[in-house]
Amino acid sequence: MRSPALIDPLRRRGFRRLALSYAVNELGDWMGIVALSVLVYDRTGSALATAVLFLGTGFVPAILAPALVARVEKPPPHFVLPVLYACEAAAFAGLAFFSAHFSLTAIFILATIDGALALAGRALTRAVVAAMLEPAGELRSGNAILNVAFTGGAAVGPGIAGLVVAGFGVETALLLDAVSFYAIAWILFAAGPLPQATPDPGNMLERLRAGLAYISAHARLRHLMLAQGAAFVFFAAVIPIEVIYAKETLGAGDSGYGLLLASWGAGMVLGSFVFAALRRASLPYLLFFSTVTIGAGYLAMAVAPSLAIACMAAILGGVGNGVQWVAVVSAVQELTSESMQARVMSVLESIGAATLGVGYLAGGVIATLVDPRATFFFAGIGVLAIVAVVAPILGSKWPERTATSSSNELDGSNGVVLELIPGSRSVQSDRGVLR
């Protein structure tokens, strides 16, 4: 049996629509991030208030998303996904209104609602992709394509957002964001029927408990997700203070902030192509080098004397980011049975969002008490500490993947799986090695 080519998933009409929605979604997300960051900081002058905004889009939705996914995973995805994105569009229309009639409380509430909808939409999309591609052995190729689409939106989005905010204002940027989410809803609705795994019977709470019990019973899956959550704290610390770092520390203004974010996005695009080219490489090697690269990027930004140097450092960190996350997603999908994909992915997204919230608060507090450079230094040291401390603890060999795509027996032992240092053997399967 031949190994699937990278472009094989693109022969599927439904997958093409999902990939396009990923790119448009990321473009819209960055428009919202830049606009709301500028709005809250300009109106409050507070790094801590900006961090609270990011907390609203991270930690609080993390509590809500798994239950929301358990509630909406049963109807057909070609109906549920457009509804979720249409609701996001309505939330951004509300944010546009409150940008002109400023209310930090209202902005926090709407950002929280949007965050929960976004987490649920991503988890359901990943479940649809797994149901569509895993039986044909094309999941890793599909993840590589989605990663390119995602990082492409990340590269273009911040630059466009910075220009729109600087030239037309926050309200216009948020209205354009609402339009982008309505466009996603239509793209997915017009895709027609999408594959769906049959979820477990029972009500929402029963299915939610079953999903959490599944993760608890599979030690490799559990440890992989928890280790990634710990890394997310440091990944996230710089996000709420990048606007202050660009505008005050570097004196670059709104367009400079957009350029800084675009540089990280460009690095992510490059990293996504690295992953696509090396998708058969050993996961331990890719995790190690991508995590170290992110940490090195943060440390370089901590000492950057100018916007140009900071952007070069952001490109370096973005390359690591473009490899690291999609490798974790691929691993979780392959360790999870088909019927549990949506719920497990929602928990992974929620762990990320919740730990991002911790990182947001830490970064905001450090920037308030010291300065933004100290936050970048904290993040860089923390990421490298994860590599140094966690790797010896979680250094077990990754198991051979011999089960079929529908099996949930991959995790037969209580060994720990995630490696952040090069391992002694790769993950062999009929589709090559995991990342």
The reply to whether 322 falls in a domain is: yes
Measured CA to CA, the distance from residue 93 to residue 107 in angstroms comes to 11
**30-88 per-position pLDDT tens digit:** 788 788 888 888 888 776 777 677 666 667 788 888 989 888 888 888 899 999 999 99
Confidence check: pLDDT of 429 > 70: no
- How far is the CA of 45 from the CAs of 241, 243, 245, in angstroms? 12, 11, 13
Measured CA to CA, the distance from residue 81 to residue 193 in angstroms comes to 12
Q: How far apart are the first and last CA of the chain?
A: 20
- Phi (first) and psi of residue 87, to 5 degrees: -65, -35
Residues of the domain holding 196 = 8-393
| CATH code of the domain in which 263 resides | 1.20.1250.20
The reply to whether 37 falls in a domain is: yes
Measured CA to CA, the distance from residue 371 to residue 366 in angstroms comes to 7
- Burial level of 363, CB count in 10 A (0-12/13-18/19+)? buried
pLDDT band at 395 (very low <50, low <70, confident <90, very high): low
Confidence check: pLDDT of 136 > 90: no
Confidence check: pLDDT of 1 > 50: no
**212-266 per-position pLDDT tens digit:** 999 988 877 887 788 888 889 999 899 878 888 988 889 887 778 878 887 888 8
Percent helix / strand / coil, the chain, rounded to 5 = 80, 0, 20
Confidence check: pLDDT of 402 > 60: no
Confidence check: pLDDT of 177 > 60: yes
Measured CA to CA, the distance from residue 21 to residue 15 in angstroms comes to 10
Mean pLDDT over 88-100 rounds to 91
Please count the structural domains in the chain.
1
Contacts of 294 (CB under 8 A, 6+ apart): 235, 317, 320, 321, 324, 383
pTM confidence score? 0.76
